Chains A and B, each alone.
Chain A
Amino acid sequence: MIEALRAEWTKTRTTGGIAWLLTGAIAVTIAVSAGIAAATHVSPQGGQEDPTKIALTGVYLGQAVVAVFAVLTISEEYGTGMIRVSLAAMPRRLVLLAAKAATTTALALTAGILAVTGCLLVGRLMLPTAGLDPAHGYPLISIGHSPTLRAASGSVCYLVLIALLSLGVATALRDGAPSIAVVLGLLYLPPLLAQAFTDPLRRHIEQIAPMTAGLAIQATTDPHSQPIAPWAGLGVLTAWAAASLLIAALLLRLRDA
C-alpha cells in the first residue's frame, strides 16, 4: 500500500494540470465569496442574515473545479491507456483505488482548507462594510464561534467528499466528459428540480440530494431554515460518496482493464 501511495503521489505531483486545477478551485471559491460579499447590502430592518453562510458561498462553484480535478485523476489514465500500465504495476486493484482515493483526499483537503480559510477572511473583512457589523448585531466572523467552526470544517469535509464522489463516478464510467457531466448533474440539478415541487416533496429532494444536504453544514444562525440537520446532511453526502466508491471498486475489480 505504501508503494501504491508513493506511486500515486508521484503521478499527481508530476501531472502538469493538477496544481493549476487546485489553484483554480481555491481562487474560484474565494473570488465568488468576495463577489457575493461585495454585492451584499443589508437594510437595517431586514431579516436575520447568516454572515458565515454568505462568506462560504464560493463553495457552490469551487466544488465544480474540485470535481473536475478528481475526475481527471483517473479518467486521464483511461483516456491515454495508462491505466493498463498502472494495473500491471499494481495488480491489486482495490489497493490502486484506495491509493488514488487517499491522494485525492489529501489534495482536496489542502485545497479545501485554503479555500475555506480564504472565504472566512474575505467575509470577515468585507461583510462589515455591507452592514453586517457588530453595530448591527453581527459579530465579526471568527472560528472561535463554534457554529462558524462547524460550518468551516464542514465545508472542507464537503469538498473532500465531493472529490471522492467524483473519483468513484469517473472510475465507474472511465471517460472524463460523461463523468464530469454526471457529477455536475448530480450536484446542481436536484436543487433546480426541487423548485418544481412544493413541500414536503421539495424538502425530501433537498434532504437526499448530495449538494443541498451536504451544504446544510454551512448554516450557522437558523438551522431550521435548512432541509436537514448539519451533520446529518454531511452524512447523506458521505453515503453518496461511499456508494460511488463501492460501485467503482466492484467494477474495477470485475472488469477487464
Chain B
Amino acid sequence: MNDAIIEVTGLRKRFGPTLALDGVTFTAPPGKVTGFIGPNGAGKSTTIRVILGLDAPDEGHARVGGHPYRDLRNPLRHVGALVDAAAVQPSRTARNHLLWLARSQTLEAGRVDAVLELVGLAAAARRKAGGFSLGMRQRLGIAAAMLGDPPVVILDEPFNGMDPEGIVWMRKLLRTLAAEGRALLVSSHLMSELQGIADHIVVIGRGKVLAEAGIDELLARAAGEQVLLQTPTPAEAYRVLHRAGGVTTIIDDGALSVSGLAARQVVAALGQSDVVFSEVTTQRPTLEDVYFQLTSGEAEFGTNTVQGAQR
C-alpha cells in the first residue's frame, strides 16, 4: 500500500498571539503505529486538523498517500479519522450516523454493519448515540474511521474514556491494523498508553517536534540504567562511588542514584569500602522517562515538577 503514508512538512500555524505549530515535520510510515505524543496544548490536535484539511496552515503542507487531503475523492476511503468522539448528533442512532457517512463516500450500507461488528457495537446499532458512554462513542468513532477500509488511520486520543477492556481491545486493534500494512497515527498525552504498541514515535511540545525516531532508538537515546540504593552515610557512599567511576546523585538524606555503574559494581565498590547500604534496585528507562526528558519545560499548561524530579 503506497497510499499508506502521512507526510507532514514544515507546518506553521498561529492562533492570535499563540504559535500553535512551529515547523512541524514528520512522517507516519506504512505498516507502523506512529505514536504522536505531547502534553495537552502541544499542537497534536491542530496538526491532525491540518492533515485532515479542517484547518489551513500558515506555512507548510500535509500529504496523505502523496496527496493533499482536500484533493482526495471520497476521502474516507483513503483516510479514516477519529477527531472528537463526542461529535455525534445525540438524537441519531449509531447505525444512522455511519449510514450518512457511508452515503457520502458511495459506500454500501453493508460496510456500516461490518464496522459496527468490528468495534463491538452491533448490539447497540439502533440506539441513539446521545446515550452512549465516552468509551462507546470512541468505538463509534473508530467504526466511522474504518468505514472506508482506509490505508491511513488517524486517531486523536482514542484511549480517552475507555474502560480497561476497551483499552486492551483498542491496543490489539491498532496492532492488527498496522500489521495489515496501514499507516496509523495515534495521538496521546500519555506515553504509557502507547508503550508496547507504537513502533515509531513523534514527540511534540509547544508546536515543535522534539524527537522523531523508532521506539528502540528513542529508548537507547535516553539516559541509561540507574542504580538506586539506601545508605545511612550518603556522603561516604558518594565518594566511594565517584572513585569507582559512577555518576551519583544524592536524592535525599538516605537515598542515592547512580548511573554509569551496574548494580553488581556498585555493591562491590561499597562492600570493599565497608559502606553500609540496603535496597539496591536497578531502574531501566521507560518510554515515559524519555518523554519526560524531552518534554520537561515544554508543557504548555503543566507545572515544572517533572523537571525537578531527579532519580
Contacts and interface: CB of A to CB of B under 8 A. Distances in A.
Contacts of B54: 84, 87-88, 256-257
Interface centre among B55, B97, B103 (most CB of A within 10 A): B103
Contacts of A90: 104
Contacts of A35: none
B66 interface: no
A14 B84 contact: no
Contacts of B103: 3, 6-7, 9-10
Contacts of A11: 89, 92, 100
Contacts of B97: 14
Interface stretch (B27-35, B72-80, B211-219, B225-233): B72-80
B56 to A, nearest CB: 6
Given A7-B100, A7-B103, A11-B100, A89 B76 contact: yes
B277 to A, nearest CB: 57
A89 B90 contact: no
Interface in B139-156: 144
B100 A84 contact: no
Interface residues of B, number: 34
B83 interface: yes
A84 B87 contact: yes
B105 A80 contact: no
Nearest to B147: A89
Given A4-B104, A80-B89, A85 B70 contact: no
B202 interface: no
A3 B74 contact: yes
B101 interface: yes
Interface of A: 3-4, 6-11, 14-17, 76-77, 80-82, 84-85, 87-92, 256-257
Interface of B: 49, 52-56, 69-70, 72, 74-76, 79, 81, 83-84, 86-93, 96-97, 99-101, 103-106, 144
